[in-house]
Chain A
Amino acid sequence: MDGISGDLNAPHSMGTTIIGVTYNGGVVLGADSRTSTGMYVANRASDKITQLTDNVYICRSGSAADSQIVSDYVRYFLHQHTIQLGQPSTVKVAANLVRLLSYNNKNMLQTGLIVGGWDKYEGGKIYGIPLGGTVLEQPFTIGGSGSTYLYGFFDQVWKEGMTQDEAEKLVVKAVSLAIARDGASGGVVRTVTINKDGVTRKFYPGNTLPLWHEELEPKDSMLDILSSASPEPMVS
C-alpha cells in the first residue's frame, strides 16, 4: 500500500463539521469544506451546504456519494411537490422526504444530514437526520466527525432567540474550533442564512478565522520574522 498518496480508491468521505442553528427570524447553516479519500484531501473547497428549494437547504456529512444522491432525489421530489402544491414547500416536508430515503435505505447509506430552512407557517426550523433515519426537530444541531469537539462548546454558549449576527458568529466560531482539532475537517467555513427575506451565502477563508491554542499567526515567510525581530535565533 502506498503510504504517501494514501488510499485514493477509498470512498470519498466528508469527515466534516456541519451545524444548523435557529435564531430570532430564521436559521444559519454552517460547514467546513474538506472532502477526503483516505488520507488525501480530494477537495479542499467543497460546498457541503446544498440547496433543495429556494427556502430549504441541507448540510451533508459522511459519504459524499450517499449524501449527494439523497440530496438530488429530494430536490427532484420537492421540485414536483412545489409545482403541485402551488407554493414553496415547508421545511418539515423536505425533512420528511430526507427521512424516507435515509430510513428505508439505512443498511446501505452512510450519511448524516441537517435540513434547515424558512417557511411562512413555522418560520426558521432545523431538522437533524443522523445515521439510521431518525428525524429530530431541534433549536440547533451539530453533525459530522468534527462535531464531537463541539458538544461541550454548545452546551456552554447556546441560547435561544439570538440575533442573526450572533448566530452567524457562533456558527463560524464553532466550525473553526472543530477544524482546529478534527483532521477530517478543514478548508474554509461556509454559511448559509435563510429567513423571510431570502437566502444569503457567506464565505470565510482561513485567514479571517480566529486563532486557537498553539496556532500561530500565518506569515509569508520566516524571513519576514527574522528581519523585524531580534536577529538571534533560538539556541539550546
Chain B
Amino acid sequence: MNVADSAPAMNNLLASNADSQRTLYPYVTGTSVVGIKYKDGILLAADMGGSYGSTLRYKTVERLKSVGKHSIIGASGEISDFQEIMRYLDELILYDNMWDDGNSLGPKEVHNYLTRVMYNRRNKFNPLWNSLVLGGVKNGQKHLGTVNMIGVHYEDNHVATGFGNHLARPILRDEWHENLTFEEGVKLLEKCMRVLLYRDRSAVNKLQIARITEDGVAVFPPYSLKTFWNFNAFQNPTVGAEGSW
C-alpha cells in the first residue's frame, strides 16, 4: 500500500549521508552563448530563453552580464547557479575595488577565478551546472575564453557553449577573421544565432548582444531576428513521396 515517491530514495542512494549534497539535475536552463573577438574587442550573443525541461517557460532571462569594467560573462545551463555565480563575481569585484589601489581585475583573472570555482565544485561532486563564456579587454589585450561545469577551460578567437559548438563554430571557423568591424561582427553573430533558432529546440527568438572594448561594456537591448521559410523545397516537400517528411 505504500508506493513512496522514488525520488527521495534515489537521492539517498546518491548522497552517502545527510550532509553531503550534489546538484543532481538542472531545472531552469539557458541555451547557447556565442562569443567572438573583433577589431575593437569582444562581442557576445545569447538568447533570452529560460527553459524548464521541454517547456520554453521564461522568455526574458538576461544571460549576458558585465563583470567589473573589463569583462562580460555569458552563461548557459542552470539559471539559479548563474545567479549564484554573479553574486560571487560581484563580491570579487567589490573586494577588488575596496583595495582602492588603481588596479582592477582583468578578464584573464576573472576567467581563472571562475575556472577554480567550477573545478573545485566538480571535485566535490556538487557542480555549478553552467557553461560560461568570459570575454574582455584590458590594456589593449583582448581575452575570450570558456569554462564549464567540469572545469574544462580554454581560450580562442571564437567560443560557444552547448549547441553553439556544433552549429555556430563551424560558421565561425569559415568566416571569422582578425579585424572584423563591429558591423561585420554583429552580422556574423546574427548568422550564428539564426541557425541556432532554426535548429535548437530550446532557442527563443529574443536575443541580446553585448560588446566590450577598451572604452567599456555595452549590453544592447533585446530584439528578434527575421527567419526565412520560402524555399521551394519547403513548399511541397512530400510531392512524389506521399507519407514521407
Contact = CB atoms under 8 A, between A and B. Distances in A.
A20 interface: no
A188 to B, nearest CB: 27
B24 A10 contact: no
B79 A134 contact: yes
Given A103-B80, A107-B21, A132 B26 contact: yes
Contacts of A131: 27-28
Interface string B4-25: 1101000100010000011110
Contact of A107 (B15, B50, B55, B61): B15
Interface string B24-63: 1011100000000000000000000010100101101100
B55 to A, nearest CB: 7
Given A9-B1, A9-B4, A130-B27, A136 B21 contact: no
A151 B50 CA distance: 14
Given A10-B3, A103-B84, A134-B28, 20 more contacts: A1-B3, A7-B2, A7-B3, A9-B1, A9-B4, A10-B4, A38-B3, A99-B80, A99-B83, A103-B80, A103-B83, A106-B27, A107-B15, A107-B22, A107-B23, A108-B11, A130-B28, A135-B80, A136-B61, A151-B55
Interface of B: 1-5, 7, 11, 15, 21-24, 26-28, 50, 52, 55, 57-58, 60-61, 78-80, 83-84
26 contacts: A1-B1, A1-B3, A7-B1, A7-B2, A7-B3, A38-B3, A99-B80, A103-B84, A106-B23, A106-B27, A106-B80, A107-B15, A107-B23, A107-B24, A110-B7, A130-B28, A130-B52, A131-B28, A132-B27, A132-B28, A132-B79, A134-B28, A134-B50, A134-B79, A135-B83, A136-B58
